[in-house]
């Protein structure tokens, strides 16, 4: 066959059948799916196969993108607590009065309490024993405490929170109340009981 014909045939083949590219996927969507597994089963209770099925991608793609199981867990926790802290802050700004914002934050927790909380679960599973998790929780905790404390000061100025209460201590109390509501829900407490816990927390501020 003529060399010109061979060259043309080769070039045409490249045009018609280009090399296949690696399959692309939405990393945030895959991570959100993985978060759902960790929320329900914790770190130890989650297998690699469960993560692969949830993410909908191959094992190698999962590890190439996010690292090993521990790195994936840390990334999941970081994304989860960042989103939760932002959602709490948005709820706190709800309502005309500052006390309404505090109530809205607690109501949001009650409404979602049937879903496992990765933040609370990670503390229950690891406590303060892992440096990576400690740093993630500390950053989110400082941000949330400061945000709540500012709103508490506004509520005190409006006469809806006792002025003799320390805003930082109130913030710690509310964060502990949030964790308590979520743990109670995980233990089977009904919605009415969870709402009562939230109302008691608000009443304690007056």
Q: Are 110 and 200 in contact (CB under 8 A)?
A: no
* Dist CA 122 CA 128 (whole Å): 10
User: How do the pLDDT tens digits run along the chain, 206 residues long?
Assistant: 444 443 434 344 333 434 433 445 688 898 999 999 999 999 999 999 999 999 888 888 888 888 899 999 999 999 999 999 999 999 999 888 999 999 999 999 999 999 999 999 999 999 999 999 999 999 999 999 999 999 999 999 999 999 999 999 999 999 999 999 999 999 999 999 999 999 999 999 99
Domains along the chain with CATH numbers = 24-203 (1.10.357.10)
68-94 pLDDT, tens digit per residue, is: 999 999 999 999 999 999 999 999 998
* Dist CA 31 CA 116 (whole Å): 16
Q: Are 99 and 158 in contact (CB under 8 A)?
A: yes
Give the three-state DSSP class for 23: coil
Q: Are 58 and 52 in contact (CB under 8 A)?
A: yes
pTM: 0.84
Give the three-state DSSP class for 176: helix
């Amino acid at each position: 066959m003529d060399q010109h014909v061979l060259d043309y045939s080769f070039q045409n083949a490249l045009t018609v059948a280009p090399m296949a590219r690696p399959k692309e996927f939405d990393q945030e969507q895959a991570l959100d799916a993985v978060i759902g597994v960790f929320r329900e089963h914790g770190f130890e209770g989650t297998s690699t196969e469960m993560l692969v099925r949830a993410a909908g991608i191959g094992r190698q793609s999962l590890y190439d993108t996010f690292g090993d199981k521990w790195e994936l867990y840390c990334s999941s926790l970081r994304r989860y607590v960042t989103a939760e802290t932002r959602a709490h802050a948005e709820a706190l700004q709800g309502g005309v009065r500052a006390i309404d914002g505090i109530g809205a934050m607690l109501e949001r927790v009650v409404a979602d309490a049937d879903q496992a909380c990765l933040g609370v679960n990670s503390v229950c599973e690891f406590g303060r024993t892992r440096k990576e998790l400690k740093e993630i929780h500390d950053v989110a905790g400082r941000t949330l405490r400061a945000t709540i404390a500012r709103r508490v000061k506004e509520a005190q100025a409006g006469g809806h929170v006792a002025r003799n209460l320390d805003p930082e201590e109130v913030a710690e109390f509310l964060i502990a109340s949030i964790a308590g509501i979520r743990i109670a829900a995980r233990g089977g407490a009904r919605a009415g009981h969870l709402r009562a816990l939230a109302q008691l927390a608000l009443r304690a501020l007056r």
